[in-house]
């Protein structure tokens, strides 16, 4: 937004100084007309940027749709617009940390150590379960020697660090690859986020598999630190929507219980 403002100011300066330098000729009138048009364009760009915030589109789940609608209401209450765009999810955290996106819709606190430009909006949007998918034996994470995780979900590595996991960790890009590695017995377990696996199961014909909840974490909205000034207002707005029953209605609408 600073670049737009500087360009806008330069155009206005040219509008003022050029008549003094060259006189009010027909050519100059046409040039001034063009400058006025450019000023209007850049002013609109600056206005739009100031009053809208852009985030990448998440996986299509009930939890994601609930989060989008809740945040749309919160931003609208503050006079802002929430934009959702298609963006490579593998690169979304990096893009948000570098200001290419305005933040992340919902993440857990495990991102904070590596992505220091992102500020937590301190209102828990919802909680999710981290689940271990594995063959019926061995019986727990501590007794398996290899596990597949998704590289763009730092929470999975955070959990393994918390239990001092000493086995082999294979990072992949999606849930399907995790399950395929498990079925092919290339790993003994796969750590998965419950709502991302709502419609995915391993057919019984492929063997005995089970899942167990190993941890539960809350998710928060994150903004790039260039938007730090709106964080207190956004927290207050989310609290208001919680207290007036809006959050409860949205949870009921999306059949969420947490």
pLDDT digits (tens, 9 = 90+) for 19-41: 454 555 554 444 444 444 444 44
Beta strand residue intervals within the chain, DSSP E: 52-56, 81-85, 103-107, 118-135, 146-150, 168-172, 189-193, 209-224
Label residues 93-122 b or e (16+ Cβ within 10 Å = b): bebbbeeebbbbbbbbebbeeebeebbbbe
For domain 52-125+221-253, give the fold: D-Maltodextrin-Binding Protein; domain 2 (3.40.190)
Residue 148 to residue 210: CA distance in whole angstroms: 15
Lowest pLDDT segment from 37-46, 64-73, 185-194, 243-252: 37-46
CATH class as words, domain 128-217? alpha beta
Query: What mean pLDDT comes out for the span 48-56?
Result: 78
The predicted structure's pLDDT at residue 38? 47
Q: Is the Cβ–Cβ distance between 129 and 257 less than 8 Å? A: no
* Size of the chain in residues: 258
In terms of Cα–Cα distance, which of 154, 162, 95, 156 is closest to 131? 156
The predicted structure's pLDDT at residue 8? 40
Q: Is the Cβ–Cβ distance between 58 and 105 less than 8 Å? A: yes
Query: What mean pLDDT comes out for the span 129-148?
Result: 80
Where are the chain's structural domains?
Answer: 2-49, 52-125+221-253, 128-217
Q: Is the Cβ–Cβ distance between 67 and 106 less than 8 Å? A: yes
Percent of the chain at pLDDT above 70? 76
The better pLDDT of the pair 246, 28 is held by: 246
Residue 197 to residue 193: CA distance in whole angstroms: 7
For residue 147, give Cα distances in angstroms to 30, 32, 166, 196, 208: 68, 66, 10, 18, 17
pLDDT digits (tens, 9 = 90+) for 54-83: 999 998 999 999 999 999 999 999 999 999
The predicted structure's pLDDT at residue 14? 45
Same CATH fold assignment for domains 52-125+221-253 and 128-217: yes
pLDDT digits (tens, 9 = 90+) for 203-217: 666 778 888 899 999
């Amino acid at each position: 937004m600073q670049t737009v403002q500087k360009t806008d100011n330069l155009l206005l300066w040219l509008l003022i100084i050029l008549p003094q330098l060259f006189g009010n000729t027909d050519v100059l009138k046409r040039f001034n007309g063009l400058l006025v048009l450019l000023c209007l364009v850049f002013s609109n760009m600056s206005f739009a940027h100031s009053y809208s915030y852009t985030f990448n589109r998440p996986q299509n789940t009930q939890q994601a749709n609930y989060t989008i609608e809740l945040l749309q209401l919160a931003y609208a209450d503050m006079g802002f617009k929430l934009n959702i765009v298609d963006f490579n999810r593998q690169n979304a955290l990096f893009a948000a940390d570098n200001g290419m996106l305005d933040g992340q819709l919902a993440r857990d606190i495990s991102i904070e150590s590596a992505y220091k430009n992102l500020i937590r909006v301190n209102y828990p949007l919802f909680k999710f379960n981290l689940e271990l998918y594995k063959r019926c034996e061995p019986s727990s994470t501590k007794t398996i020697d290899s596990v597949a995780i998704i590289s763009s979900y730092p929470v999975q590595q955070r959990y393994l660090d918390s239990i001092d996991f000493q086995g082999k960790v294979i990072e992949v890009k999606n849930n399907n690859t995790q399950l395929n590695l498990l079925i092919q017995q290339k790993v003994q377990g796969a750590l998965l986020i419950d709502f991302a696996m709502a419609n995915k199961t391993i057919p019984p014909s492929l063997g005995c598999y089970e899942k167990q909840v190993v941890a539960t974490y809350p998710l928060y909205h994150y903004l790039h630190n260039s938007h730090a000034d709106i964080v207190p207002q956004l927290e207050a707005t989310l609290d208001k929507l919680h207290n007036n029953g809006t959050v409860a209605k949205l949870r009921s609408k999306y059949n969420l219980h947490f």
